[in-house]
Amino acid sequence: MVDRAKYFTNHNRIELIITYRCNMKCINCEAQVRQAPSSKEMSVKQISKFIRESIENNIRWESIRVLGGEPTLHSEIYSIIECLDKYKRDFSPNTVIMVVTNGYGNFVNRILSELSTKYSIMIENSKKTSNLQSHFSPINQAPMDLEAYKNCNFINGCWIPTICGIALDIHGYYPCSAAAAIARVFGLTVARKTIPLSADDFTELLSVFCEKCGHYYSKINNAISHRQIEECTVQEIESIINSQQVVMEEQITKEIISPIWEKALYQWKIKEPKLTKY
């Protein structure tokens, strides 16, 4: 295999997966809402705990991205954004709070309009109209099922934790949002229960999650060299990644599920794993 750069975990950015509910069922959904649908959601109490941990550790996030599923479907979306907005107002005024939405349907757009009017947030709206997103990675095609990756140790990770940061869902902290979804399906009780600080690079978890994740062998990962990882800022790396996304990714028009995922999803449908909560 070609040796590529080892990506680092960005502890200045975080994604909050507040719900796995969604009004769309996109093929190759990274959050697994099509493959393993769930109505579970983070509580306002958990969001408050996250904010308290951030303040106690003097963490002023560069960005907090609020994800789903579809985040506007959370039963207490207003209370959650109010908590985050208060954190920004009172403690970290430079933090960018962004709601990441599919923008599909009147209900979703009404909530988005109300949130953006009342709070100092940004909206990342993909404006989806179909469950086919050809730019999605084959998230359920595990590298460990592919011959070319049989001898990988998978600690290099991929570009996502570097650009998007760590993730938090109902079960705890993960190196990325894809890892949270993988843990949910495979029943992996490995989430951090307290906020990970900068010395925690999640190395031992990368070997657990990346072997199962279709993002690992994305051609985009080869856009960055070892030297660039060491010398570039996150913003410069982000610019390189964004410039390569359109030209380097294959267009996927079908659901791809490799054997380890077939087994995990089959078992999940028989009995959904129970994980400890954050």
Predicted confidence band of residue 245 (pLDDT cuts 50, 70, 90): low
Name the more confident of 229 and 12: 12
CATH number at residue 225: 3.20.20
CB 161 within 8 A of CB 8: yes
Domain-located, residue 152: yes
pLDDT in tens, 84-106: 999 999 999 999 999 999 999 99
CB 172 within 8 A of CB 188: no
Q: What is the pTM of this model?
A: 0.94
- What is the structure's pLDDT at 249? 55
* Mean pLDDT on 260-264: 98
55: pLDDT strictly greater than 90: yes
Domain-located, residue 7: no
- What is the structure's pLDDT at 247? 52
What number of residues does the chain have? 278
Residues 6 or more apart whose Cβ sits within 8 Å of residue 102:
22, 23, 24, 70, 108, 125, 126, 127, 128
Predicted confidence band of residue 250 (pLDDT cuts 50, 70, 90): low
- What is the structure's pLDDT at 253? 80
Domain-located, residue 245: yes
Q: CA torsion sign, 177 to 267 to 46 to 193?
A: negative
pLDDT in tens, 170-225: 999 999 999 999 999 999 999 999 999 999 999 999 989 999 999 998 888 888 88
For the chain, the domain total comes to 1
Domain-located, residue 3: no
User: What are phi and psi for residue 170, nearest 5 degrees?
Assistant: -60, -25
Domain-located, residue 44: yes
Domain-located, residue 259: yes
* Mean pLDDT on 106-120: 96
When the pLDDT of each residue in the chain is averaged and rounded to a whole number, the result is 93
Predicted confidence band of residue 153 (pLDDT cuts 50, 70, 90): confident
Domain holding 18, by residue range, is 13-270
**Spatial separation of the C-alpha atoms in residues 104 and 125, rounded to whole Å:** 9
